[in-house]
Amino acid sequence: MLTSESETRGAQRPREDGDILTAHDVHAGYGGFDILQGITLAVPRHQITCIVGPNGSGKSTAFKAIYGLIKIRLGTVDFEGQNITGQRPQDLLKLGIAMLPQLSTVFPGLTVEENLALGMYVVRDKRRIKARIDEIFDLFPRLRERRRQHASTLSGGERRALEIGRTLMLDPRLVLLDEPSVGLSPNLVSEVFAQLVELKEETGISVLMVEQNAKSALSISDLGYVIQRGRVSHTGSGAELLGDPEVRHSFLGGMD
Ligand SMILES: Nc1ncnc2c1ncn2[C@@H]1O[C@H](COP(=O)(O)OP(=O)(O)OP(=O)(O)O)[C@@H](O)[C@H]1O
């Protein structure tokens, strides 16, 4: 069900029990100026949801507002039915929401295993950490092969897999990814997105990502939101949005 701006103003998609996270009428911005002018969106459980849109439309701002990195002036964010508006990232992590920032967070001089262990620095039990690293290696077998290599020797795709793996160390139920394809060549983008689909299928984790690479992101997303000028302009499954002439024309550049 694809909805266009005129139909979607207000609640873009009815709240459903299967939603792990919802944002309702969120207004937020910088220096007293609202970039987000009432964003309403829902992230269904066990699915991949993406936010796409033209440069400067407010995608990263929406991401920051949801993850407590900027103040929400008006509106609410709920996680599993609990109001989390304005909660800090460290508290959200405890609740089961992890975030992967846009810039690389890998420590090049540390091994793959050491990098993963850092994702569980709050845990002291070494056996638990080792067991979790093993589970992450089951999800990303290539990281297991490279477990004792320094992260500096990994390919771009492996490095991103390591970052995603580290984000999963505390076994979050929802992971927020800020432009997971940034800085990757087209082949590696496909590789990383294929890994995300596998991850969802194998673990049932819920994913919310913000992406500039709209075509690739929509092609693997169960649900997509187009943000334009701080509002949700279109909502639909990834396939629906990719096929929508208005979306293609207005911001996908009439892509093939
Ligand atoms: N820290 C900031 N202070 C002031 N204005 C900001 C700040 N960060 C972003 N903006 C402004 O907010 C608007 C939305 O930016 P945002 O980064 O959310 O867009 P985006 O959709 O993620 O863009 P892109 O695809 O280019 O990353 C832009 O006009 C931008 O200049």
pLDDT at 246 over 90: no
State residue 97's pLDDT score.
Answer: 96
pLDDT at 154 over 90: yes
State residue 16's pLDDT score.
Answer: 60
pLDDT band at 17 (very low <50, low <70, confident <90, very high): low
Residues 202-227: pLDDT tens digits?
Answer: 999 999 999 999 999 999 999 999 99
Q: How far apart are CA 109 and CA 101, in angstroms?
A: 20
Q: How far apart are CA 218 and CA 102, in angstroms?
A: 18
Residues 86-137: pLDDT tens digits?
Answer: 999 889 999 999 998 887 788 999 999 999 999 888 788 889 999 999 999 9
3-class secondary structure, 64: helix
Number of H helices, E strands in the chain: 11, 10
Any ligand 1 atom below 6 A from CB of 212: yes
Any ligand 1 atom below 6 A from CB of 35: yes
pLDDT at 30 over 50: yes
Task: Choose which residue among 27, 30, 182 to substitute to test ligand 1 binding: the one with the highest number of ligand atoms within 8 A of its C-beta.
Answer: 30
| CA-closest residue to ligand 1 atom 17 | 60
Concatenated DSSP letters for 148-191?
TSBGGGS-HHHHHHHHHHHHTTT--SEEEEE-TTTT--HHHHHH
Task: Dig out the tokens for 222 from the structure.
Answer: 């169960």
Pairing of strands 19-30, 33-44: antiparallel
Task: Dig out the tokens for 13 from the structure.
Answer: 């998609």
Residues 6+ apart with CB under 8 A from 90: none
3-class secondary structure, 150: strand
Task: Dig out the tokens for 35 from the structure.
Answer: 């970039």
| CA-closest residue to ligand 1 atom 7 | 30
pLDDT at 7 over 60: no
User: For residues 209 and 215, is the Cβ–Cβ distance under 8 A?
Assistant: no
Sign of the alpha-carbon dihedral angle for 118, 173, 68, 215: positive
Q: How far apart are CA 21 and CA 92, in angstroms?
A: 12
| CA-closest residue to ligand 1 atom 6 | 30
